[in-house]
A and B are shown apart, each in its own frame.
Chain A
Amino acid sequence: MRRAGLEMTGMASPDPHAAPSTSTGASETHATTSEAEHGSAGLPQFEFQHWAGQIAWLLILFVILYVLMSRVFTPRLRKVLDERTNTIASALDQARKVQEEANAQAAQAQADLADARAKAHKMATDARAKATAEAQARQAAEDARLADKMAEAETRIRASRDAAMAHVATIASDTASAIVEKLTGAAPKAADLSAALAAVKEGAR
């Protein structure tokens, strides 16, 4: 053990005096194992008496493992992976659909808004037009009423003026008759009086 580190360099080269390796067993001490190893020829991997057992055991395990992998584990994992791919695809699909729906709804809302705005505008215009028309109608009615009243008043004025004018003629004839009677002492004849009045009237025009 003292020369442990230095011994190692010579270890790999086969010792020509070596006896074929015999299984030394784990019970021996490290030192004696090391000595026995030192005496063995070459690598432990080339002890061919151990090959068949290892190969047979490995093949058995390999076949069992392959069958389990190909029949059980790989299909299970494949299924999960496919499922995941499908889930993601369908989720993306749905998201796209919902997005489209939302876009459509937004467009619809936009259209509705524009529609409502147009309707409101139209309503406002209508209301204004109606109000204007009503106001005009009322104005016209008022005008007509006022015109009527004015016409009536004019008629009444004309009537009273005519009446007054008629009275004026009578007063003029009476006054002329009284003046002539006072001047001449005799009442004028009615025919003369009216002719004179007519002449005056004519002259006044």
Chain B
Amino acid sequence: MADPLHQFKIEKLVDLPDVTLPGIGTVDLAFTNSHLAMTIAFVAIIAFMSLVTANAKVVPGRLQGVGEQMFGLIDNLTSSIIGHEGRKFMPFVFTIFMFILAMNFLGLVNIPGVFHMFTATSQIAVTATFGVVTIALVLIVGFAKHGLGFFKLFVPGGVPWPLLPVIIPIEFASFLLRPLTLTLRLFGNMMGGHVALKVFAGFVGAAAIGGIGYLGILVGPLSFGMVTALTALEFLVAFLQAFVFAVLTTIYLNDVVNLGHGH
């Protein structure tokens, strides 16, 4: 309870035999709390989208309205940034957005003493997978559309040629850093928020059991207020980080879809 990092600990719920794959090594197939969180998010999204679209009417109900808002958010995003080709990539961006959003929100589910939901997006393994999948799609689209012309991405138009030896390495490095920044931004935000929550909650606990003496009278209520405020902030962050990830995914896709037009 006191350790703010304990909440990120992977715990095996169902242990399955390890398998040894050539080139990768031993893989632990255990179904962990992280797997459970991902699966619940996955099921929740499918349930939500099914409810939204199963009986979709021209005049939407409340739930359908929420679903359409999210759909419209990402649809506007892709079509305004990428243009008319944005529709092709909309399902991908929407999937990423919904998946991250669901996992972020699920991480805030906490019934004290009964059940504490694991935050899958606080795992680098998870956020890195999203980052790599995104950049992999960018690479695939780039090479499929432009072939070797993809490398023009690192040569911005309108730059005087003496600057090119400087610009090209910078552009190349920034491209290489994209999956890393995608990974770390989401991971850092989710983990930082949860650590902060836990630290202040720990102060409340310490004050309540008298662990810090009379100082607790002052620290307890203050920390309790902080926890409350931070929880509200975390809801904002949970949505914002999913949205930011979606926006950056769209921008990176736009770079290769409209290569040479927007630079």
What is A's interface to B at a CB cutoff of 8 Å? 1-8, 11-12, 23, 25-26, 30, 33-34, 37-38, 43-47, 49-59, 61-62, 64-66, 68-70, 72-74, 76-77, 79-81, 83-84, 87
Contact = CB atoms under 8 A, between A and B. Distances in A.
Contacts of A76: 53, 56
Interface residues of B, number: 65
Contacts of A80: 53, 56-58, 60, 64, 68
B91 A69 contact: yes
Given A53-B27, A55-B125, A76-B56, A62 B99 contact: yes
B29 interface: yes
A25 B9 CA distance: 10
Given A6-B206, A61-B42, 14 more contacts: A4-B211, A8-B3, A8-B4, A33-B3, A44-B8, A45-B8, A45-B122, A45-B187, A49-B28, A58-B129, A72-B49, A73-B49, A77-B52, A80-B57
A52 B28 contact: yes
B101 to A, nearest CB: 12
Contacts of B155: none
A12 B3 CA distance: 10
Contact of B95 (A5, A25, A69): A69
Interface stretch (B160-168, B197-205, B230-238): B197-205
Interface string B82-101: 00000000111011001100
Instruction: Determine chain B's interface SS by DSSP, over half rule.
Output: helix
A65 B44 CA distance: 11
B35 A53 contact: yes
Contact of A62 (B27, B35, B133): B133
B257 interface: no
Instruction: Determine chain A's interface SS by DSSP, over half rule.
Output: helix
A23 B209 CA distance: 29
6 contacts: A37-B9, A45-B123, A50-B10, A54-B10, A70-B92, A76-B56
A8 B71 contact: no
Nearest to A72: B53
A5 B205 contact: yes
A23 B12 contact: yes
Contact of A53 (B3, B32, B50, B124): B32
B129 A55 contact: yes
Given A25-B11, A54-B35, A80-B56, A66 B5 contact: no
B9 A44 contact: yes
Interface of B: 1-6, 8-12, 24, 27-30, 32, 34-35, 38-39, 42, 45-46, 49-50, 52-53, 56-58, 60, 64, 67-68, 71-72, 90-92, 94-95, 98-99, 120, 122-126, 128-130, 133, 187, 191, 199, 202-203, 205-207, 209, 211-212
B38 A8 contact: no
A84 B39 CA distance: 34
Contacts of B1: 1, 4, 30, 34
B90 to A, nearest CB: 7
Contacts of A2: 209, 211
A79 B9 CA distance: 43
A184 to B, nearest CB: 144
A56 B16 CA distance: 14
A69 B88 CA distance: 12
A92 B170 CA distance: 53
Contact of A50 (B28, B38, B56, B203): B28
B45 A46 contact: no
Nearest to A49: B28
Contact of B34 (A46, A54, A66): A54
A52 B24 contact: yes
A73 B53 contact: yes
Given A45-B122, A58-B126, A7 B2 contact: yes
